[in-house]
Amino acid sequence: MQSVAAALTMVRDDAFFLKAWLRHYGEMFGRENCYIVNHGRGETVAELAQGCNLIGIPGDPHPNFDMKRWRMLNNLVQGLRCYYNHVVVGDVDELVVVDPAEGISLLDYLAKAKIRRNVTPLGLEVIHRVELEPEPIETDIIGPRRHVRLAPHYSKPCLVSSGAKIARGGHFTQYDQLHTPDALYLFHLKFCDLAQYAQVMDHRNMVTEEVGASVKDAAIGRHWFSEARGEDRAVFEAFSGLEVKEGFDLSWVRKRMQRSWKPRGETGFWQFDRPEYDGQYVLPERFVGVI
């Protein structure tokens, strides 16, 4: 008999996000069903992740880091599928949640979900409104932070129960159907806290300096490079300029995703359009404490 679900991520020194990932998936799935690739075999990661399945790998810098990372994650996902009905895979700062209005956990949701498919939660980026939310994050993130913006780039097919290949970054799969249940969201946490953002960016800039490759040459995002970073506080202060939308009915976004669903050229992957949406939303009270 297969177990319901496993969670898989790869991390290097991101203690803040790893703690959130462990609280979310470790408590819900059980740490014995959590798999963490410890890039660089960091002692902090090993200590925080006790009770999880830890896979230590060398931390040598490499310009094609993200390509190598997703090649490995692809293979790990397919191996885990031999023993689990569903595998949740993604970056350590991405957490999948079920709308609390459903009254069930993600594990309960997956226990009832169909298999042999890839499911795409709607991506929402948690943003820190520094002028409105001065309190630091102690444990829960949603509560001290309530503002989100639409993030089509993070509407990822990250709930995997098919054998389809996942593209670098986890944004596309070679699976020709789009499943976007109304109840599922993926919260991206990169911008959830100004102070934490600065620490993470300092680390990523250091990594790219070690690699020695240019923005053009390296197979990782521009945001890893100091020359593309900008001024941190200005990035967060700009969030105040986004119009606050009323309500929280985002069904129209999922409909647009479905209407634009198409092959991604001749790659074998599939995609939907990912426009930039203006505006921000305040999460309803029911989401407080969900992560």
- CATH code for position 186: 3.90.550
For residues 232-247, give the mean pLDDT: 94
Query: Is 100 domain-assigned?
Result: yes
Query: Is 130 domain-assigned?
Result: yes
Which residue range(s) make up the domain with 93? 3-195+229-287
State phi, psi for 66 to the nearest 5 degrees: -70, -35
Say if residue 227's pLDDT is above 80.
no
At residue 213 the predicted structure's pLDDT band, cuts being 50, 70 and 90, is low
What is the bridge-based pairing of β-strands 94-98 and 184-188?
A: antiparallel
Percent residues over pLDDT 90 in the chain: 83
Query: Is 215 domain-assigned?
Result: no
User: pLDDT tens digit string along 47-100?
Assistant: 999 999 999 999 987 778 888 999 999 999 999 999 999 999 999 999 999 999
For residues 170-198, give the mean pLDDT: 96
Query: Is 214 domain-assigned?
Result: no
At residue 7 the predicted structure's pLDDT band, cuts being 50, 70 and 90, is very high
At residue 13 the predicted structure's pLDDT band, cuts being 50, 70 and 90, is confident
pTM of the model: 0.90
* Lowest mean pLDDT across 8-22, 142-156, 201-215, 263-277: 201-215
Indicate the number of domains in the chain.
Answer: 1
Say if residue 223's pLDDT is above 80.
no
Query: Is 42 domain-assigned?
Result: yes
pLDDT the model gives residue 62 = 75
Query: Is 259 domain-assigned?
Result: yes
User: pLDDT tens digit string along 32-60?
Assistant: 999 999 999 999 999 999 999 999 999 98
pLDDT the model gives residue 54 = 98
Query: Is 207 domain-assigned?
Result: no
Query: Which one is predicted more confidently, 105 or 62?
Result: 105
Query: Is 218 domain-assigned?
Result: no
